[in-house]
Amino acid sequence: MNLAVAAQIISFLAALVLLSAFGMLVQRRMYGLIHLFAWQGLFLSISTAVVGFVAGKHHLYISSVLTLSLKVVLLPYILHVLIQRLKIQKEVETVVNVPMTMLIGIALVIFSYHLTAPVREISTLVTRSVLAIALATVMIGLLMMITRRHAVTQIIGFLAMENGLFFAATSATYGMPLVVELGVALDVLIAAFIFGIFFFHIHTTFDSLDVEQMARLKEGD
Amino acid sequence: MNPGPIDLASISVIILLCAPLLVSLLSRSQRLLIYSGFALTAAASLLAVFAGAWTVWSGETQKLIMLIGLPDLPFHLRLDPLAGFFLVVIGLLSFFVSVYSIGYVKGFLGKRSVTSLAIFYCLFLAGMYMVVLSDDALIFLISWEVMAAASYFLVMFEDERIENRRAAFLYMVVAHVGAIAILLSFGVLAGLATGFGSFSGYTFDAMRSAHFPTEWATVAFLLSFFGFAAKAGVVPLHVWLPEAHPVAPSNVSALMSGVMLKTAIYGIIRVTFDLIRVFPWWWGAIVLVFGLVSAVMGVLYALMQHDLKRLLAYHSVENIGIILIGIGLAMIFTAFKLPLLAALALTAGIYHTLNHAMFKGLLFMGAGAVLHATHERNMEEMGGLIHLMPWTAALFLIGCISISALPPFNGFVSEWLTFQAFLLSPSLPSPLLKLLIPMGAALLALTGALAAACFVKAFGVTFLGHWRGHHRPNVREADWPMRIGMIMAAAACLFLGILPTLAIGWMDAVPQQLIGTSIGTSAGAFGWMWLTPVAYQRASYSGPIVFFGILGIVIAAYLLLHVRPGAIQRVPIWDCGFEKIDQRMQYNATSFAMPIRRIFGFLFNVKERVRTSQQTVHKAFPKKLYYSLHVRDRFWGWLYKPVIAASFWGSRKVGRLQQGRIQAYLIYSFVTIIVLLVFLR
Nearest CA in chain B to A108: B674
Nearest by CB: B670 against A142, A149, A154: A142
Nearest CA in chain A to B668: A146
pLDDT confidence bin for B2, thresholds 50/70/90:
low
Between residues A2 and B324, which one has the greater pLDDT?
B324
| Minimum distance, in Å, between the CA of residue B667 and any CA atom of chain A | 6
Q: What is the pLDDT of residues B43-75, one digit of tens each?
A: 999 999 999 999 998 888 888 888 777 777 888
Tell me whether A165 touches chain B (CB under 8 Å): no
Q: Is the pLDDT of residue B583 over 80?
A: no
Which residues does chain B have within 8 Å of residue A216's beta carbon, measured at their own beta carbons? Answer: 660
Give the DSSP H or E segment for B242: helix B241-247
Nearest by CB: A154 against B662, B669, B677: B662
* CA gap B90, B9 in Å, rounded: 12
| Minimum distance, in Å, between the CA of residue A12 and any CA atom of chain B | 27
Cβ-defined contact of B674 to A111 (cutoff 8 Å): yes
Nearest CA in chain B to A118: B681
Cβ-defined contact of A147 to B663 (cutoff 8 Å): yes
Q: DSSP assignment, residue B500?
A: H
Cβ-defined contact of B667 to A146 (cutoff 8 Å): yes
Q: Percent of chain B, pLDDT > 70?
A: 99
Q: What is the pLDDT of residues B95-151, one digit of tens each?
A: 999 999 999 998 888 888 889 999 999 999 999 999 999 998 989 999 999 999 999
pLDDT confidence bin for B85, thresholds 50/70/90:
very high
Give the DSSP H or E segment for B74: strand B73-79
Residue A100: CB atoms within 10 Å:
12
Cβ-defined contact of A221 to B652 (cutoff 8 Å): yes
User: Which of B339, B327, B232 lies closest to B283, judged by CA?
Assistant: B327
Which domain does A208 fall in, by range?
A: 3-217
Tell me whether A147 touches chain B (CB under 8 Å): yes
Alpha helices, DSSP H, located in chain A: 3-26, 30-55, 59-67, 75-86, 98-122, 131-147, 151-173, 178-206
* CA gap B329, B420 in Å, rounded: 11
| Minimum distance, in Å, between the CA of residue A209 and any CA atom of chain B | 12
Q: Percent of chain B, pLDDT > 90?
A: 44
Tell me whether A121 touches chain B (CB under 8 Å): no
Q: What is the pLDDT of residues B280-321, one digit of tens each?
A: 989 999 999 999 999 999 999 898 888 899 999 999 999 999
Tell me whether A159 touches chain B (CB under 8 Å): no
Q: What are phi and psi of B606, to 5 degrees?
A: -100, 130
Output Rg (C-alpha) for chain B, integer angstroms: 27
Nearest by CB: B677 against A95, A115, A154: A115
pTM for the whole thing? 0.81
Count of domains forming chain A: 1
* CA gap B601, B464 in Å, rounded: 27
CA dihedral over B97, B99, B103, B106, signed as positive or negative: positive
Contacts 24+ apart (CB under 8 A), B277-283: B277/B208, B278/B211, B278/B212, B278/B217, B279/B217, B279/B221, B279/B331, B279/B334, B279/B335, B280/B214, B280/B218, B280/B335, B281/B331, B281/B332, B281/B335, B281/B336, B281/B430, B281/B433, B283/B218, B283/B221, B283/B331, B283/B335
Query: Which residues are CB-contacts of B635 (< 8 A; sequence separation ≥ 6)?
Result: B235, B236, B238, B239
Which residues does chain A have within 8 Å of residue B681's beta carbon, measured at their own beta carbons? Answer: 115, 118
Determine which of B648, B656, B666 to mutate to test the interface with A (most A C-beta atoms within 10 Å): B666
Q: What is the pLDDT of residues B495-516, one digit of tens each?
A: 999 988 888 888 888 888 888 8
**Ordered per-residue pLDDT tens for chain A, 221 residues:** 677 888 888 889 899 999 999 998 888 888 888 999 999 999 989 988 888 888 787 888 888 888 888 888 888 888 888 888 877 766 766 677 888 888 999 999 998 888 888 877 777 766 677 888 888 999 998 888 888 877 788 888 888 888 888 888 887 777 677 777 788 778 887 887 777 777 777 777 777 777 667 667 666 54
Nearest CA in chain A to B667: A146
